[in-house]
Structure 1
């Protein structure tokens, strides 16, 4: 077996962010009751972490920055067009980068609609509750796609990307 170089890709903040968000989403979707205080607090924690991650996307470590992994439309379409011959990225691939943005926007949308439901103006408004539920369900579909994609890419790259999100390292296969 040849010597494999490992690179520190996911810094401690990105990993904490990821697992806090996983926990918040799991708890609020499957465990807590809508409208109850724990559900609200967990939702606000998730939204706050997304806001922090947004700032970290500009000021954080190299692989945490949006400029490192957020690709333009042309790059995304080329990646999809040549999918069977795609190259390996140290951070997110072009599609995964946009999935991260999508999931973070869903969390923000849930935070906003959740907040709205607690205000006098929107309390009891059916459309706000429906929108909140739609965003939650669409986000969970995105989470499922994200998990399947991470497992598929782990197989394709022959490395455990989930473990990488625990210890922060990834094999350098970009050569």
Structure 2
């Protein structure tokens, strides 16, 4: 990564999160199939649609600014997706797997919150007002998704996993 200016840093970070979002469009259907609780399945399915909209917003930023994204693969998201595959392969379907999937999904959301927060700060510094609005819209969606996952965990996901352990 050879970045020498704040503009190049913005493009690099935008390229990275674009790759992350693309990877999530492939991972979310797998997560939905692996989840057992209907609310978690629905959350993964809804987030897929939201992620597709976030990719469209990145495309809008690219068009607005007349920039080209770099062809890079987000290594952080690649690792998080790999962790989710390990969860699916190593934990039998049920409440414990659901609890692990929620935790993994929140790791993803926290990464995306950090990424979009960074991009918004850079856009503000660079005076990219229209791009900033789009990035902040996505940032708020990511925060809302994280909150929804917290509610899923607190309203039974973790309790069901604990009850399953006691029954064993």
Same topology, TM > 0.5? no
TM-score by length of 2: 0.38
Q: Which has the higher helix share?
A: 2
